[in-house]
Amino acid sequence: MRPIPLFPLIVLVGLSFAGAINRVAAAEPLMSFGTYHALVIGNNDYVNLPKLQTAISDAEAVANLLETRYGFAVRLLRNASRNDILRALNKYRADLTEEDNLLVYYAGHGWLDRQSNTGFWQPVDAEAEDDLNWISNEALTRRLHAMTARHVMVIADSCYSGTLVRSAASALPTGRERRAWLRRISEKRSRTAIVSGGLEPVADSGQGGHSVFANALLSALQENQDILEGTSLFKKISRPVVVNADQTPQYSDIRRAGHEGGEFLFVPLAAKSKEPVSNVRGTEAALPALQQTMLPQRITGTWISGILINPFDKKDHYRLHFNFKQIGGKVLGSIKRAPAGDSPRKYGTTKRPIVSGTLDEGVVTFQESFQVLMGSKTEDHRRTYTGEVRGAEIDFFQQDTLGNAPIEFTVKRASK
């Protein structure tokens, strides 16, 4: 029997596979990002409250960057009153359609009413002992919920701004099927917020005439060259703020504002004429999609971290053991904190169940419930884990509802 030539067979297989990739890339039309609007507010010259130093310069820099680099139609309010802010929001509510995106940036005083656990923005005409001219989170939320705009994001650089958000799973971007993922989140309604701190005062000063938070935000937006999701923007901002100030930024959906799982996308003008993953990288975007179809990612089994440190007790070191059971896109299992031979755990072993676990296109998200004794009372809290699966490793980003700085760590699949 005559042997079959190997080289032509390889060529035929390669051409067939490349053709499949090209068909996948060609089948997807360009993404429509819609029109971008921004309401940017900076208040320095308070009449009845201490004046601020950097809020107006922060707002002016943000407005200029959004307009020139990202093509936003910007309305800038300096030293805005309650009526100025609410009137502007009502105008956007009347004018915007579901093809529009709105960013609201606020730099100014904020206040937390601890008895009602309600957060407020304090416009330039606010009085210290009278909330008549304050803007509550509920008033802001109602207006955002009523807007037709598909994507709305609030970026708040004010004290106690963490009351605007709730702790929730936030999917980190992944290289796998990035184009399809961007398309999906762009089509879903979103109401999200990045806030400069939790339930604590935040810094009004930093370098270059801007607050620490504004500096981090401006740097992240200026350096970005591609489509940037809200989650990724938060990740770029969080670390420099935590390192340089006694505040911890937060990111999540806005409570009761009609969030449906989408993401706000920042798209530089240079990228808006391209596909969400550029034509040069189109083949690279399609290849993982075909590979995943042939070899679906599964995470069932045990995964173990390196040595981590308890934020409440720096002498307490431990390893995390994740035991996953994957059923379709649902993830079940448990989280165990266990001593390591080279670093004994001070408090022994704890084991808790995974809550609301999911695996979607290489991104695993879940929560862990725990309790903390505060004085004589026990408080319920949660940790949210978001991880990108990379073969035999998962890169995790963890946040908790106590306001601790987010941590990043990697787990590896345990050998059988």
What pLDDT, on the 0 to 100 scale, is given for residue 14? 43
What pLDDT, on the 0 to 100 scale, is given for residue 302? 94
* pLDDT single digits (tens) 133-176: 888 888 888 888 888 888 899 998 876 554 554 333 344 444 44
- Give 35-272's CATH code, choosing from 3.30.70.260, 2.60.40.1180, 3.40.50.1460, 2.60.40.2140: 3.40.50.1460
* pLDDT single digits (tens) 11-30: 333 444 444 444 444 444 45
Task: Tally the C-alpha atoms within 13 A of residue 5's C-alpha that lie toward its C-beta.
Answer: 4
What pLDDT, on the 0 to 100 scale, is given for residue 25? 42
Is 35-272's fold the same as 301-413's?
no
What pLDDT, on the 0 to 100 scale, is given for residue 195? 84
Distances in Å between the alpha carbon of 18 and those of 22, 24, 183, 281?
Answer: 6, 10, 23, 14
Distances in Å between the alpha carbon of 132 and those of 31, 75, 82, 125, 136?
Answer: 44, 25, 9, 10, 10
d(CA 253, CA 235): 15
For the chain, the domains span 35-272, 301-413
The CATH code of domain 301-413 reads: 2.40.128.120
d(CA 252, CA 129): 30
What pLDDT, on the 0 to 100 scale, is given for residue 104? 94
* One-letter amino acid of 179: R
d(CA 44, CA 57): 9
Give the residues of the chain that fall short of pLDDT 50: 1-29, 162, 165-176, 200-201, 204, 275-296
What pLDDT, on the 0 to 100 scale, is given for residue 314? 73
